[in-house]
Chain A
Amino acid sequence: RKEVEQDPGPFNVPEGATVAFNCTYSNSASQSFFWYRQDCRKEPKLLMSVYSSGNEDGRFTAQLNRASQYISLLIRDSKLSDSATYLCVVNLVTSGSARQLTFGSGTQLTVLP
């Protein structure tokens, strides 16, 4: 079983739609959670850190459910510029690996005009 699992998609949605991505992680000791976006042939860029109570940044809402080991990302009013691959990322803090991240394989989103 992969440590971080995501639905690879692709998700094809019309402009203005709401789309949600889900991610599950296997290690209950994981402590920090993130969503990154990656455009084609570019580096991953931090989209949001995910806080315990859930957090919102404009059209983006991230939620964490520790009991179910589940993270979600909701995008409202999708724009063409939201087309990208979204990576779910988990930080497991252990001795000697305090700052290592584990990446999901990503979910591809295409927003259609």
Chain B
Amino acid sequence: DAGITQSPRHKVTETGTPVTLRCHQTENHRYMYWYRQDPGHGLRLIHYSYGVKDTDKGEVSDGYSVSRSKTEDFLLTLESATSSQTSVYFCAITTSGPSSYNEQFFGPGTRLTVL
């Protein structure tokens, strides 16, 4: 258990509304990630963070923004949700250390439906 929680776990919203998903970790990991998972595409990286206030874009960042104001929380915001953003969103952390192979550990996911 990597001590990662996500909230909400399920959300249904309407097109055009803003949505914020929260990822919370309890073990002070530096690296955090947001992915989306869709059938046929596997997991795709949206944004990641390598420290407080340090973030960068991933493969599918358009339409998403992130913020990390403290180590334990990484927020993903859809400024104006679209139906194409209906997906399952996973947060992940990377363990670190000299023996680490950069394994990532995932939160339980958030199922987002945009109508």
Interface residue ranges, A against B (CB under 8 Å): 4, 32, 34, 42-46, 49, 87, 91, 93, 96-101, 103-106
Assembly CA distance A44 to B56 (angstroms) = 23
Assembly CA distance A91 to B94 (angstroms) = 12
Interface residue ranges, B against A (CB under 8 Å): 31, 33, 40-45, 48, 50, 56, 58, 90, 94, 101-109
Interface of A (DSSP majority class): loop
Residue ID in chain A nearest B107 by CB atoms: A43
CB-based contact A49/B42 at 8 Å: no
CB-based contact A43/B101 at 8 Å: no
CB-based contact B90/A49 at 8 Å: no
CB-based contact A32/B108 at 8 Å: no
CB-based contact A32/B102 at 8 Å: yes
CB-based contact B42/A103 at 8 Å: yes
Assembly CA distance A101 to B105 (angstroms) = 11
